[in-house]
Amino acid sequence: MTAPLLSIHNVCKRLGGLIVSEDISIDIMPGELQAVIGPNGAGKTTLLNQIGGQLIPDSGTIVFAGLDVTSLPVQARARLGIGRTFQVPKIFPSFAAVDNPAIGALGSRPHAFGFWTPLRNLDDIGPKAVAALDAVGLTDKHLARTELLSHGDRRLVEIATALAGKPRLLLLDEPMAGLGRDESLRMAMLLKALKGGASIVMVEHDMDAVFALADTVTVLAHGRVIASDRPEQIRSNPKVRSSYLGDNDDV
């Protein structure tokens, strides 16, 4: 039987007096796209932060590829193969688009780099950066200044930056947020193409995208898992419908 790539066991986290994660246990299988949904304040981004290392759980364990990473910092997790994007894209706006994934590719480089050489010109960095941008459909925008790109393209640059580090696990925080219809369709096509490679944990409010793309849907409410199942079971789960999806038969 295939072992999970990521196992979260009984993770708890308090921020001040507020419980934001309570006894969360989730497995992510190799190649799986698991969507995490729930109302605002449910603890979705907090969960991603604990997987990515931006927050350390108060208790519980996070095991990645057989290693306990619960207390490891972000950089160590990135070197192990955990990539991350954010609700607001974290990129370098004044850089050329290709320079962002070039920085992402540094995480997989085994030695230091020369400060006086543009990263894109390094033999082991430039090709990875170009390939990552090509993978997200920005082949013709390598040298465009990132801040001049559309919001949708900036999101793609951030995903390319994560992909350049060759992640085994990709954490996506609301990749559809702020996108227009055409950009959303393009993002959905990209995520579909990425499925089966790196495992993906995706926080998302776009239910059409969730049910079209996810292999498993996990629902959070008040920091707890209230359901985790195949999309068709989640769609018809009475508890999920009453607490989050609503009773609309078109959901």
Over 90: is that where the pLDDT of 176 sits?
yes
Q: What is the pLDDT of residue 43?
A: 95
pLDDT above 70 covers a percentage of the chain that reads 90
Bridge-partner residues for 218, per DSSP? 36, 228
Over 50: is that where the pLDDT of 250 sits?
no
Over 90: is that where the pLDDT of 7 sits?
yes
The pLDDT confidence band at residue 246, using thresholds 50, 70 and 90, is low
Task: Please indicate, yes or no, whether the overall pTM of this predicted structure exceeds 0.75.
Answer: yes
Q: For 96-147, how does the pLDDT look when each residue is reduced to its tens digit (9 = 90+)?
A: 999 999 988 876 555 445 554 555 555 568 888 999 999 999 999 999 999 9
Q: What is the pLDDT of residue 251?
A: 41
Alpha-carbon distance of 88 to 39, in angstroms, equals 18
Q: What is the pLDDT of residue 116?
A: 45
- Report yes or no: 163 and 172 within 8 Å, Cβ to Cβ: no
Distance from CA of residue 187 to its chain's centroid?
13
2: DSSP letter: P
Domain ranges for the chain = 1-81+167-251, 86-166
Residue that is written with structure tokens 């960095």 in the block: 125
Q: For 202-225, how does the pLDDT look when each residue is reduced to its tens digit (9 = 90+)?
A: 999 999 999 999 999 999 999 999
Q: In the CATH scheme, what architecture does the domain 1-81+167-251 have?
A: 3-Layer(aba) Sandwich (3.40)
Alpha-helix residue ranges (DSSP H) falling in the chain: 44-52, 74-80, 99-105, 126-135, 151-164, 181-194, 207-213, 231-236, 238-240
Handedness of CA 190, 48, 204, 138 (dihedral sign): negative
Q: For 68-104, how does the pLDDT look when each residue is reduced to its tens digit (9 = 90+)?
A: 999 999 999 999 999 999 999 899 999 999 999 998 8
Q: What is the pLDDT of residue 249?
A: 44
Q: What is the pLDDT of residue 148?
A: 96
For residue 45, give the 3-state DSSP assignment: helix
**Average of per-residue pLDDT values in the chain:** 90
And the tokens for 177? 């947020």
Alpha-carbon distance of 4 to 226, in angstroms, equals 21
